[in-house]
Amino acid sequence: MPPVRASFARRLREVSERQLMVAAQRDVCGRYGTAPPPPPRGVDRFWQRVYVPVYHRLPWKLRATVMRAMPGSHRRTWHRPDEGSGPAV
């Protein structure tokens, strides 16, 4: 069976989460004087030099609106637990 391809929205979310994590690691490494992750190459340069700074400058309300608009696991809600009909024991 061939592997299932991720949807565009899922792939976009995975890449953006990864790039935000790498940027956070770089910040923490700078704060504590440890070795940072390797410098970005290729398309990762766009993500690190354009996407991450723009993301951090956006107001939270706008970020939350965009996240809610995209499909993904963050839109799942908890179901209401079944009500018991008697004692548990």
pLDDT tens for 20-70 read: 999 999 999 999 999 988 999 999 999 999 999 999 999 999 988 887 777
Give the mean pLDDT of the chain: 83
* Domain locations along the chain: 8-71
More confident site: 86 or 61: 61
pLDDT at 1 over 50: no
SS3 (DSSP) at 2:
coil
For 55, residues 6+ apart whose C-beta sits below 8 A from its C-beta are: 16, 20, 63
Return the minimum-mean-pLDDT range out of 17-21, 72-76, 81-85: 72-76
Tokens 């190459």: give the residue: 41
* Structure token digits, residue 43: 């398309």
CA angle 35, 39, 41 (to 5 degrees): 155
